Every structure is written in structure tokens, then in C-alpha cells.
Amino acid sequence: RWISWMTEFCWPMRVYIEDTDAGGIVYYANYLKFMERARTELMRTLGYGKPALFDGLQLVVHELNIKYHSPALLDDELKVSAELTKIGRVTFLMSQSIYRGDSLLVEGEVKVACLDALTKKPAAMPAPMYQKLKGLLG
């Protein structure tokens, strides 16, 4: 069962030389890293300092859909958003965008799943985490 809700979190970033190709354009896979950092920082604000691995469980990307509109360039200041749009007991869905100023560069939707760290099989989020996320619905 899904619970729908919306709350946006934004994380500022700058493009460094290691993020770019020889032409000074951000390498396409690095946008996924930028999105991961925003999701991680969102979870950190909720009290989960190491959200990828906790209590014998781990959060992993299960599905990803991404659309590139315009490239980011060396030294650009970016804003990376993470907006939770749905939550279930095992998975949650986030809409994410990357902006340079008011220009939308990249947008995507990421489905994150909770797994048992040993078996790598789906597992319910711990009740406190689920309740904290669900509580954002108001």
C-alpha cells in the first residue's frame, strides 16, 4: 500500500573537474551521484546518518527513470532536489531535479527499496523510519 505525499529538499552542489569529461561537460552518470547525495542528505536531516546501511537493512535503488534537458558545466552551481512522492512499507518513490539557477537540467524518478543486508531480499523499513517518513504527510 502506498501513501502519497510531497515535500521537497534541495541540496546545493558545485561542478568540479572530476565530474566532467574532456570538454568540461558533466559526464551523464555523475548526475546519478548528485541525486544520490541529495537523497542521502535528506535522510540525514531525518536523523539517519548512514541511511544506506542500518539495523541489518539497506536502502538500494530499485528503479530509475531519468531525462536530460541541458548539460551542466565545469564550475556551475547546481541545486539538486529530492521530493518524496510515495511511500510503502518496503519502497518509496522520489522525484528529483537538478537546476542551474532557474534552468532545469535533469529530472528523474527514483524508486528506493529496503532490503535485508544479508539475504538481499525485500524487507519492511523499520517502524520508526516508516513512521517518520509517513509523519511528513502531516
Amino acid at 91: T
Distance between CA atoms of residues 38 and 58, nearest Å? 17
Residue 21 annotated to the active site: yes
Contact 116, 124 (CB under 8 A): no
Q: Which of 19, 21, 55, 116 is catalytic?
A: 21
CA nearest neighbour of 105 among 78, 65, 138, 74? 78
State the catalytic residues.
21
